[in-house]
Structure 1
Amino acid sequence: MGAYTFHISNPILPIKLLESNATVDELIEGESKTWKKDLVQAIFRQEEAKCICNIPISIKGMDDKVIWGLSDKGLFSVKSAYFTDLEKIKHKTGETSNSDQNERIWRKVWRLTSSGKVKQFLWKALNGIPPTRSNLFKRMVVDNSTCPICNREEETALHVLWDCPASVDVWSEEFSPVKKWRRNYADFMSVWSDFHSKLEDEKLHIIATMLHCLWRRRNDLVFEGKFKGPSVLFQLALQGVEAIKLAQEKPRESQLRTTDSLRILWRPPRLEFMKVYVDAALDTK
């Protein structure tokens, strides 16, 4: 039937008409399965009584059951609760120009020529969900949130990818597209928004690969005790960019060569001839 809130017109009157522990079924005729309109109108306001009496009542006499009204099947799921919460947040904050900007940012992330694992890492970083010490500490997985590289600040996505002194050394390399950029960003999304608005696609591709390399270096230190210097790390990022570029160009070149060869080899028959294409299989046994 759904959830409704009604105001009782006279709070003293219902006590005289019904017991203090009365339930809704006492407002319904047992045999005919219809509302007791006189009783409903005596308890509730006129407009509310009309709404109540317009609520359909099941004639099958089925037992009441709890349903989740936010899904088609009436069953609760984490997915439906998640999207309901998103809708509530959207209605609460209202639509702003930021939503359009965020949509453009996400569209550009998925259109990057970077590998899938780089894009997936960016998605996690922009949503603030990489397993940094800060996130792990909040979930009581580790006993402190300090950065394992500098041992000074809390390790957030912004810190490990941008603010940590070890990361600053990498971004200060000679061929870095963001060599002299500012450091006072509020979160990683703010940093990436600047990347998105100020850098060309080719440089943004380098930055994305570099971010993934920084995270891999952090994991190498935590789990294997290995640590690469800024120059080595930057060169690895550039090599990764070139490898992806070559991998994406080869299929196109191969396809073009195949198409060209087909165009060269095939010739239409002369007027007095007809071409017939056949296929055959040979059994050597």
Structure 2
Amino acid sequence: MFYKFFKARFFPTSSVLESGVKSNGSYAWQSILKAREVVKQGAYWRIGDGASVQIRGDKCLPDMSTKHVISPQKNLPMNAKVCALIDEDGPRWITERVTQEFFPHEAQQILGIPLSSNQVLNLLIWVGTKSGKYTTKSAYKMLMSKPDLSTPSPSDTSAQTSCWKRIWYLNVSNKIKHFLWRACRESLPTKKNLLARNVTRNALCKWCNEEVEDSVHALWGCQVLKEVWWEEEILRNHLSMHFVDCRDLWIGITNLEEPNLAERFAFVAWSIWNKRNASGMHGTSLPFHLLY
């Protein structure tokens, strides 16, 4: 009864896990939305016909730590479904299409997913239990086992001071330090900031045209940047992580305590921003695969 009530009021035409769900409501509904984020972290799709699962955005890789596809978009559109990779004449993957579209390790993962000839539906399963069913105990274990890449509390002034000191003590040029400081303070002229100042009418990222372009999206979160950051091996398991803002991302990078990683990150982020600006002015810039 509760499910029918909530569905009719808050998500009548979609699933509770989709982004179109209404965010305003009672305390009970707000609690469900917070729990939904936990479910999203630990659930992934078992592929049936692939018609309702997005290649990019939905979790569908069974043996990867993030389960998200991180290969940059090439031939297929960003909103393509998994069924676009499956042969219509039989339950088999279109090998050539898969190998052309994805990084080799991801192509191998996809081609290894078994397909059924019985036209079974896609099934969302929970990774924390053998049965694939959600339990509170398994969710708690999952959350406790996650690496500490989160930002400190805003009230922790010593942590914030350390964040800024790590920028100014970087062994890079002053212009890169200043750029990173602006990014962490969300003061770069991103499309989100330009929209707030009535400079543009559209805040969507011009590269992916899927999400609002703030600093963390422009430098890290955009799908087209995955092949750039993939070159840094220590970051590969973190490419699908969501960071609140660029300061959150910067603290996560420095918490990894990898020698010279902070300097490499700062320089590559600066190069990405330069490419973004050059493309907006129709200037020349390096292709993504040469930025790192």
* Richer in helix (by share): 1
Q: Point out the structure with max Rg over C-alpha.
A: 1
Give the TM-score normalised by structure 2: 0.45
